[in-house]
Structure 1
Amino acid sequence: MYAVIKTGGKQYRVSPGEKLKIEQILADIGDEISFKDVLSIGEGDKIEIGSPFLKDVVVKAKVLSHGKNKKIKIFKMRRRKHYQKHQGHRQSYTELYIDSIVNN
């Protein structure tokens, strides 16, 4: 069984027993969180799609850790103008363990 959830402006396909890195959310390590923005669920050939979300479907997850991704280097340059700009960015993430998909 799998579900498509929406969090942090992105959509993720998740299934129970899976680890997932998402945009950072405010939760402590070890907390149980639930996602109610479930776009669709499926199992085998059966698929159920919401408009826009499914009612009575919840994805439960546990927070494993918080951290930062690898640094992305940003370099801007204007030719012949002697302009160069160096920047870097590290995006914060939260790692989750998907416990279950509850369909009432």
Structure 2
Amino acid sequence: MHAVMETGGKQYRVTTGDVVQVEKCVGQVGDKVEIRSLLLLQDDQGVTVDPEQIKTAKVVGEILQQGRNRKVVVFKKKRRKNYRRTQGHRQAFTRLKILEIVK
């Protein structure tokens, strides 16, 4: 069974047993997370995209890791004005293991 879930403004195609890296979710390592924002379900009977049929479905996952990505350096400059600004950013992420897709 496949599902397309939406979390953190992004969409992910997942199956049972997958490990996905998503935007930061609230919780500690080892906690279970339920994601109810599904856009598509695919199983043996076919593909379901009707929101009325999907609204009872959910994806259950376990938090494997909470972390931050590598630093992205932002550099601004205005020529001939001696204006330079350097700033760094590290985006937080959560690594999830998909335990099951409940229809």
Query: How does the TM-score come out when normalised to structure 1?
Result: 0.89
Query: How does the TM-score come out when normalised to structure 2?
Result: 0.89
Structure 2 unaligned segments of length 5 or more: list them.
none
Question: Which residue number corresponds to residue 54 of structure 1?
Answer: 54
CA contact (8 A) 1:39 1:52 kept: no
Question: Which residue number corresponds to residue 13 of structure 1?
Answer: 13
After the TM superposition, list the runs of 4 or more consecutive aligned residues in structure 1 that deviate by more than 6 angstroms. Answer: none
User: What letter matches 1:8 in structure 2?
Assistant: G
Does residue 1:29 correspond to 2:29, yes or no? yes
Residues 36-70 of structure 1 show CA distances to partners (whole Å, capped at 9, x for unaligned) of 11111124793211348822211010111111101
**Worse-superposed segment, 40-49 or 72-81:** 40-49
Matches within 5 A, 1:36-75: 36-43=36-43, 46-51=46-51, 54-75=54-75
Q: CA RMSD in A?
A: 1.9
How far apart are residue 87 of structure 1 and its match? 0.7
How far apart are residue 25 of structure 1 and its match? 1.3
Structure 1 unaligned segments of length 5 or more: list them.
none
Could you tell me the percent identity over the aligned residues? 37
User: What letter matches 1:14 in structure 2?
Assistant: V
Query: Would the alpha carbon gap of residues 3 and 47 (structure 1) be closer, same or farther in structure 2, given more than 3 Å must change?
Result: same
Query: Would the alpha carbon gap of residues 29 and 84 (structure 1) be closer, same or farther in structure 2, given more than 3 Å must change?
Result: same
CA contact (8 A) 1:5 1:37 kept: yes
**Worse-superposed segment, 43-52 or 89-98:** 43-52
**Worse-superposed segment, 73-82 or 38-47:** 38-47
